[in-house]
Amino acid sequence: MRTYSAKISRKTCGNNGTMKHLERLKKMLNLAVKIGWMTKNPSDSFKFRFEKYERQYLSKRELEILEATTFTRSSLEKVKDIFIFSCYCGLSYVDIKELVPDQIAKGIDGINWIYTKRQKTNETVKVPLLPKAQEILSFYLKENDNPNSETLFPVFSNQKVNKYLKEIMEQLNIRKTITFHSARHTFATTITLSNGVPIETVSKLLGHTKLSTTQIYARVLETKVSSDMLLLKEKIEAQKS
């Protein structure tokens, strides 16, 4: 039931998490119908109701503040670096955690690219490294204090990373609920779309199979709308002259 409330205090699924589980169940029931185990899917008439919410990301100014800040605690500094790396390449937490040197190679443009597969979807992802991402990568390749480690970055557990990110945002007076996943939104919105990268390219960089998924991550900012309309105005005026 949508209105169910646990009698004892424990972490439960929110509405959207519940809807995703029900979507997966419906797919399994459809499969059962397809192979003849069932004659009809009892969930056919059920409508999934997802709640819309604003996805948090860092603005250009907030990202600049984060980059310019050095933390005295090494744990916060490491989380900051890896978060910024994700802001400039769009990789998810688990994909960065499992990133190995063999997945970095020279691309057709002569710069380093990440060649990997998303663990979530098994989709191939090819991302050219922007200068800031390359700078962080080079630092950790040089400063690797665990030569036996196959992975490139010293990544804490997802729970710890999000805990440290909360501390970081509090210290910087950034009043947003920022998790590691916010880095992908920052990449999609602040780094790429806001700088004129087509949404089709952003979708490819994020490893999405459908453009509609990218449209959930990314948003067109007012500044981008203003910039695009200014260019349109200039083109119209040029055509008249």
Query: How far is the C-alpha of 28 from the C-alpha of 41, rounded, in Å?
Result: 10
Q: 60-216 maps to which CATH number?
A: 1.10.443.10
User: 86 or 20: which carries more pLDDT confidence?
Assistant: 86
* CB environment 172-194: b (16+ within 10 A), e (fewer): bebeeebebbbbbbbbbbbbbbb
Which of 13-17, 126-130, 224-228 has the largest mean confidence?
126-130
Beta strands in 124-191 (DSSP E): 124-128
Query: What is the rounded average pLDDT of the residues 155-179?
Result: 95
- Per the CB < 8 A criterion, the answer to whether 188 and 201 are in contact is no
Domain boundaries, the chain: 9-53, 60-216
Predicted local distance difference test score (pLDDT) of residue 232:
87
Of residues 223 and 125, more confidence is placed in 125
Collapsed DSSP state (helix, strand, coil) of residue 208? coil
pLDDT reading at 225 higher than 80 = no
The lowest-confidence range among 3-7, 30-34, 71-75, 149-153 is: 3-7
Q: Is the pLDDT of residue 67 over 70?
A: yes
Based on its alpha-carbon atoms, the radius of gyration of the chain, rounded to whole angstroms, reads 22
Question: Is residue 57 a contact partner of residue 169, using CB atoms and an 8 Å limit?
Answer: no
The whole-number pLDDT of residue 54 equals 67
Task: List alpha helices for 40-130, DSSP H.
Answer: 60-68, 74-89, 93-97
pLDDT at 22: 86
Name the more confident of 233 and 143.
Answer: 233
pLDDT for 73-129, tens place per residue?
A: 999 999 999 999 999 999 999 999 999 989 999 988 999 999 998 888 888 899 999
Q: 221 falls in which pLDDT band (50, 70, 90)?
A: low
Closest C-alpha among 217, 187, 209, 177 to residue 91: 187
Report the 10 Å Cβ neighbour count for 139: 12
How does DSSP classify residue 126? E
d(CA 102, CA 77): 25
Interatomic CA distance for residues 99 and 78, integer angstroms: 16
E strand or H helix at 50, and its extent?
A: none
With bands split at pLDDT 50, 70 and 90, how would you rate the model's confidence at 5?
A: low
